[in-house]
Structure 1
Amino acid sequence: MLKSTIYINYLINIVIGIAQFFLGFRVILKLFGASSTAPFVQWVYNTSQSLLNPFEGIFPTTVLDGKFVIEFSALFALIIYTLVGYFLTQLIWMVQRGIERK
């Protein structure tokens, strides 16, 4: 097994993990009604917005009791990024196994 395959998979896992972190934090902050005027909350929302842009408008955002928000687009984005990371790492392992068999 080539070390480059391992490093590429580590890199994919790190990038996807960062995306998951920010999107997960966004979901939690919105769900618990975090104040969008707080600097940390603004930073998380601004950072995660670019990850969320391709998924905006797919699902409606549900507001509970006027304060707690369930952002289904962010949950969907979280699932899609996780699946993309999984399939990319599996693809790299499959290509590596094919090279080793030759």
Structure 2
Amino acid sequence: MENNRVYRSNENNVVFRRIVYYILGVFEALFAFRLIFKLLGANPESAFVSFIYTISGNFLAPFSGIFRAAVNKGIETQSVLEPTTIIAMVVYAFIGYGIVRLVKIYESSKTRRLQ
């Protein structure tokens, strides 16, 4: 009976870790799209670009104001490098990795207690 409980616990933890990595992947993809769109000077009035800016902007709010954006004005477009986006990508990756590591630590300590 003990082994069955350990197996279910490990299975639940694997599912939880996959969910965390999936959410992290969605965030990273949003930030990558934002970074590329800003660098290439995408039209912010485009529906898709506006959607990406709106959604990702909510998650960038804690990092705003750390650095100023570098703006390069071209003939037709304006290229913007947002260090805030890069910082957010790194910080959220560390947070996701930290959560997964905590789950693994909890899982290994629980397994040791049951043995």
TM, length-normalised to structure 2: 0.85
Matched, 1:74 2:82: no
Q: Which runs of 4+ in 1 moved over 4 A?
A: none
Q: Partners in 2 of 1:47 and 1:19 — Cα distance?
A: 10
- Cα deviation for residue 59 of structure 1 reads 1.1
Q: Partners in 2 of 1:55 and 1:24 — Cα distance?
A: 16
Once the two structures are superposed, residues 64-98 of structure 1 have per-residue CA deviations (whole angstroms, 9 ceiling, x without a partner) of 23511100001100110011111110111011001
Matched, 1:86 2:97: yes
Unaligned runs of 5+ in 1: none
Matched, 1:22 2:30: yes
Indicate the RMSD between aligned Cα atoms, in angstroms.
1.0
What amino acid does structure 2 have at the position aligned with 1:99? K
- Cα deviation for residue 33 of structure 1 reads 0.6
Q: Partners in 2 of 1:42 and 1:65 — Cα distance?
A: 20
Matched, 1:43 2:51: yes
Once the two structures are superposed, residues 28-77 of structure 1 have per-residue CA deviations (whole angstroms, 9 ceiling, x without a partner) of 10011101111111011011111111111111100123511100001100
TM, length-normalised to structure 1: 0.95
Identify which of 16, 41, 44 aligns with 1:33: 41
Matched, 1:60 2:68: yes
Unaligned runs of 5+ in 2: 1-6
What amino acid does structure 2 have at the position aligned with 1:24? A
Larger Rg: 2
Q: Partners in 2 of 1:39 and 1:17 — Cα distance?
A: 22
